[in-house]
Amino acid sequence: MSWLSDIMLQAVGFFYNMTGNYGWAIVFLTMAINFALYPLTLSSIVQMAAIQKIQPKLTELQKKHKDKPDQLQKEMMELYKKEKVNPFGGCLPMILKIPFFIALFYALQSKEFTTIISQPGINSSFLWISNLSKPDPTYILIILIAITTYLSQKTMPASNNQQMAGMTYIMPFMIAFISIAFPSGVQIYWVVSNLVAVAQQWYIVKKIEKKNVSRETF
């Protein structure tokens, strides 16, 4: 993981040379990572929408074979195959983002980054934040993490699923609580990543809905 952390630190430095500010460098790095993963995000949302579409059939199978788990598993897999749905396809982008998040976490807490932002003439502040290697003392970013996490959850196709509804409200508080001690640079990464995810998910879902309407019309 140290090699990826070094790459992230170099990437932050690259965007700093472009923007002249480490806060904006993290913002643009976050956007670059999310846009690079867009094809996987697209595939993920399409798969989640497909699962949401066949949810009534899955519920029916669960009721029909509630006492026969083996038969239920078999028929569910047959349904997935028939509908060309990958039940695990929706998790891939999130899994791939985790290494980048962890790498940035360690990069912004490293001695190298602390030394860099301590040098004279280096613009290490961003908006109300004076030190990107320390947590946001105002907790504004924590609140923004909770709000954007909620919006990210709500724009996912699975948000209408009753089993996921509870997590839509619980997850933002969990994520916000966990992120309190994170460097403000990582908190910025999380907020921006959520905002990009909201925009991408909204766009993809609307595109899928429009495509479905066109099919029903014809």
Please state the pTM of the whole predicted model: 0.76
pLDDT digits (tens, 9 = 90+) for 21-46: 888 988 998 899 888 888 877 877 77
Q: Provide the residue-wise pLDDT of the chain in tens; the chain has 218 residues.
A: 577 778 888 888 888 888 888 889 889 988 998 888 888 778 777 777 777 777 777 777 777 776 767 777 777 777 777 767 766 665 666 677 778 778 877 887 777 877 777 777 676 778 888 888 788 999 999 999 999 988 888 877 664 555 556 666 788 888 889 889 888 888 998 899 899 988 888 888 877 777 665 554 44
Going by the DSSP 8-state scheme, the letter that residue 37 receives in this structure is: T
d(CA 111, CA 101): 18
d(CA 62, CA 60): 5
Classify burial at 70, counting beta carbons within 10 Å of its beta carbon; exposed 0-12, middle 13-18, buried 19 or more.
exposed
Domain ranges of the chain: 2-217
Cα-based distances in Å from 95 to 7, 102, 141, 185, 218: 19, 12, 23, 21, 38
Cβ neighbours around 69 below 10 Å, total: 9
In contact, 129 and 136? CB cutoff 8 Å = yes
> Helix, strand or coil for residue 133?
coil
Own/partner pairs, 109-114, CB within 8 angstroms, 24+ separation:
109/133, 109/183, 110/5, 110/9, 112/9, 113/9, 113/12
